[in-house]
Amino acid sequence: MSQYIAANQATQKAFFQQLKKYYGFYTLGFLGFLVFLAIAEQMGMSKKWIGYWFLFATIALYAGIGIMSRTVDAAEYYVAGRRVPAFFNGMATGADWMSAASFIGMAGTLYLSGFDGLAFVMGWTGGYVLVALFLAPYLRKFGQFTIPDFLGERYGGNIVRSIGIFAAVLCSFTYVVAQIYGVGLITSRFTGLEFGVGVFVGLGGILVCSFLGGMRAVTWTQVAQYIILIIAYLTPVVWLSLKYTGNPIPQIAYGEVLQKVTAKEKELTKDPKEIEVRNIFKERAAAADAKLKNLNASWKADQEAAAKKIADLKAAAAPAPEIAAAEKAAAAYKDEASAKDAYTKAKGLAARAAPPKAHADPYPGKDEAARDNARLNFIGIVFCMMFGTAALPHILMRYYTTPSVKQARQSVTWSLFFIFLLYFTAPALAVLAKYDVYYFLVGSKFASLPAWAANWAAVDPTLLSITDINKDGIVQLAEIVLGGDIIVLATPEIAGLPYVVSGLVAAGGLAAALSTADGLLLTIANALSHDLYYKMIDPNASTARRVTVSKVLLLVVALIAAYVTSLKPGNILFLVGAAFSLAASAFFPALVLGVFWKRANKWGAIAGMIAGLGLCMYYMVLTYPFFGGTAANQWFGLNPISAGMIGLPVGLVTIVIVSLLTGEPDAKTQALVEHVRYPHIKGDTVNTLGT
Amino acid sequence: MQLTEKHKEYWHKNLMITAVLLAIWFVVTFVEAWFARDLNNVTFMGFPLGFYMSAQGSLAVYVILIGVYAWYMNRLDKEYDVDEGDE
């Protein structure tokens, strides 16, 4: 035995050295590629071609790794042969974890909501403490292939396993749709391809990789993707920090920038020009509100006025564009419904009549009750994101792939470290970008806007639109409408970097979205092929057949997900949040009690999982408008995204009560619990390692 | 498989370290968030402290907590002879 371990040890060490060498060369190669494109740009390569190069070179790279890692062996396909060293599993988990929402959306959310956006930063990192303390080492010791596997083995019977499959597919699918959406968005924005085409190009990249090599291919691709995404995220921020603070470490340097931003917020709140613009919005909103109350009369009056204006312009032989603009304005009043929409939209301008939000101030609100509610919802999001992190199957699965329990523990440390690099940079980026907007964009002349602002406002008005509301020719803060995603996308230009860095950022965003989609699709296909097909339908299936079934399912699931994405379902951020709440309610109590409480039994787990998941879904339907609910139904004023804060405790208590009311689990199950609690016990006859 | 007293002691120590680290996690997360407004009256490295903790400080503490757990447990495995024998 010890000889075997020593030999295994030596191979493992050699393998690690080899990996370090490969990925070292790979990183140098990638940097060389950047330099090559930068030179090509100077020599006049067009932006479009730089975009194409990034898109196709990186996707070809991922596909290449996929082809090199192809396999039909079950342990290789499902858990990468269980020999991924802690360090590299950490990188792979980082890429698996950080999605398009983290990469592109996070800094923007922080820019727009200030302190309150930090709930996501805390939630998506602190959850790893729970993964490390409660799950990773024990799941690794258990050593099967999927999360429903653990539930099925620990609680016995197919009911628990089935609930596990259902919950795993539900939350992973919700999440994967958001990723594929991100892939389509990035490819279409940077190459000019159509959204639908972008989705399928990206999907091709995902499939070549996971289809041929399963977890093995996904792991090695994710490591490659992590390296690209972290270089892409940090480069522009470091540059920006150097530009504004003279310090290349943004995470330390932005304190003084934050002070300047805070000072400017106070100034802008009192600035007479700003107040003028805000008052115009207030008046417009009030006027629209009045018209809404008397809808029938007002839309007809507006319709006539618009028609008269067109007639007047035509009579005066006004220039064609002016007439076209008037006709376009008149279209809003063509019937009662569209007039109502126009008024409702105008009424919404009231939001822009508010003074700027204080960036560093927690829980703003008009009175003490509103502030307390903001605090409750902050804590709710932190809670759900943390426990959701510690329950999402595509993340937990990664800890099956390390060679030992010891390395599983170290691997969580590396995972969080690699994730931390991005997440503790995002707040700095948000503040640096805000500084630029407050000090350089605000107060500039409309005739000579900063180049980045002029470019983006022309490209996509949903990302940036600036209108001279009070006609003074100068930009006021209240005149700027900014979409969150622009913060990351425009940073290279704000920092004054060449276009090649913008292409790099797009490649990073693509890597983030693709790597997460890979992990999620694999989770769904594995839950269906391994847990449903092999464990429940045909336990005698050969290894080759199991892997084939998994591959076919992967293809089918990917196509369904792409189809759902092409329908552009509403609010992506809510979908992502919902996945976390659902996972937290369904999985966390059953997984953790399964290890820490021997007395937890089958009936407790069944009742607890159904109660937690059911309550969580019920609360979302009750309170989220998309499902026909209203905010008025909220309990304690808790937002639907935080439904897990209700579902999880109820699930936990249910498992405890029902377990105590029913019989103790059998001796075999108790032995299994003891087995997973110790990394290695001499004379332990329980063997759960999946093959 | 029969667990010895030593095995039980190992598990007990595991529970202890888990509880201690979890308590720290709870403080830097929920207690910090609850009092964020008051913490902001304190300045730390040029930042309001409440903001700093939520944006960077608590995150760094999380990394340290997990690192300490891995280090402590991997040592404990050896001490109680339940390690997997690599190295």
What's the confidence (pLDDT) of residue A110? Answer: 92
DSSP-assigned letters across all residues of A660-674: HHSPPPPHHHHHHHH
pLDDT band at B87 (very low <50, low <70, confident <90, very high): very low
Token code pair at residue A466: 């600036």
Is residue A549 within 8 A of residue A182, CB to CB? The reply is: no
- Judging contacts by C-beta atoms under 8 Å, the chain A residues touching residue B23 are none
Residue A59 clears pLDDT 80, i.e. is over it: yes
Could you give the CA distance from residue A334 to residue A306 in angstroms, rounded to a whole number? 10
Angle at A529 between CA A525 and CA A530, to 5 degrees: 110
Please indicate if any CB of chain A lies within 8 Å of the CB of B5. Answer: no
Contact B83, A406 (CB under 8 A): yes
pLDDT at A572 over 60: yes
- A557, A174 contact by CB (below 8 A): no
| Predicted local confidence at residue B83, as pLDDT | 85
- ipTM score above 0.90: yes
The confidence band for A564, taking pLDDT boundaries of 50, 70 and 90, is: confident
Say if residue A478 is exposed, middle or buried (CB neighbours under 10 Å; 0-12, 13-18, 19+).
buried
Point out which residues pair with B47 in neighbouring strands: B44
Question: Which pLDDT belongs to residue A350?
Answer: 78
At A381-434, the pLDDT tens digits run: 999 999 999 999 999 999 999 999 999 999 999 999 999 999 999 999 999 999
Of B29, B58, B67, the CB nearest to A413: B67
The proportion of chain A whose per-residue pLDDT surpasses 90, expressed as a percent, equals: 34
Q: Which long-range contacts (CB under 8 A, 24 or more apart) does B35-43 make?
A: B36/A115, B36/A362, B36/A363, B36/A375, B37/A361, B37/A362, B37/A363, B37/A371, B40/A360, B40/A361, B40/A362
Query: Residue A688: pLDDT above 80?
Result: no
- B11, B60, B65 member nearest A129 (Cβ): B65
d(CA A401, CA A82): 4
pLDDT tens profile A251-300: 888 888 999 999 998 988 888 888 888 888 888 888 888 888 877 778 78
- More confident: A187 or A111: A111
Lowest mean per-residue pLDDT among A201-210, A522-531, B18-27: A201-210
A16 touches chain B (CB under 8 A): no
Which residues in chain A are contacts of B73 at CB distance < 8 A?
Answer: 137, 409
CB pairs under 8 A between A and B: 156
The pLDDT tens digits of the residues spanning A62-96 come to 888 888 888 888 888 888 888 899 999 999 999 99
Please tell me which of the candidates A382, A680, A683 has its beta carbon nearest to residue B84: A680
**What confidence tens digit (pLDDT) does each residue in A476-490 have?**
888 888 888 888 888
Burial label, A597 (beta-carbon count in 10 A; 0-12, 13-18, 19+): middle
> Reduced to 3 states, what is the DSSP secondary structure of residue A404?
coil
What's the pLDDT score for residue A570?
59
Mean pLDDT of A618-627: 82
Cβ <8 Å between B66 and A360: no
Q: Measured between alpha carbons, how far is A145 from A75 in angstroms, rounded to an integer?
A: 8
CB contacts, 8 Å: A416 with chain B: 62-63, 66
User: Above pLDDT 70, what percent of chain A?
Assistant: 98
- Strands A464-466 and B43-44, by their bridges, are unpaired
pLDDT, chain A, mean: 87
Q: Distance of CA A328 to CAs A89, A259, A300, A460, B71, Å?
A: 56, 45, 17, 20, 67
Sign of CA dihedral A635, A638, A643, A645: negative
Give A186→chain B minimum CA distance, Å: 27
pTM for the predicted model, two decimal places:
0.90
Q: Does B72 touch chain A (CB under 8 A)?
A: no
Q: Is the pLDDT of residue A149 over 60?
A: yes
Residues A204, A344: Cα–Cα separation, whole Å: 42
For residues A41 and A51, the answer to whether their CB atoms sit within 8 Å is no
Is A2's pLDDT higher than 50? Answer: no
Is B86 close to A134, i.e. CB distance below 8 A?
no
pLDDT in tens, A5-29: 555 777 888 888 889 999 999 999 9
Of A375, A416, A427, the CB nearest to B56: A427
CB proximity B76 to A under 8 Å: no
Residue A437 phi/psi, 5-degree rounding, is -65, -45
- Which tops the pLDDT comparison, A303 or B17? B17
Q: What is the pLDDT of residue A599?
A: 93
Give residue limits of the domains in chain B: 5-79
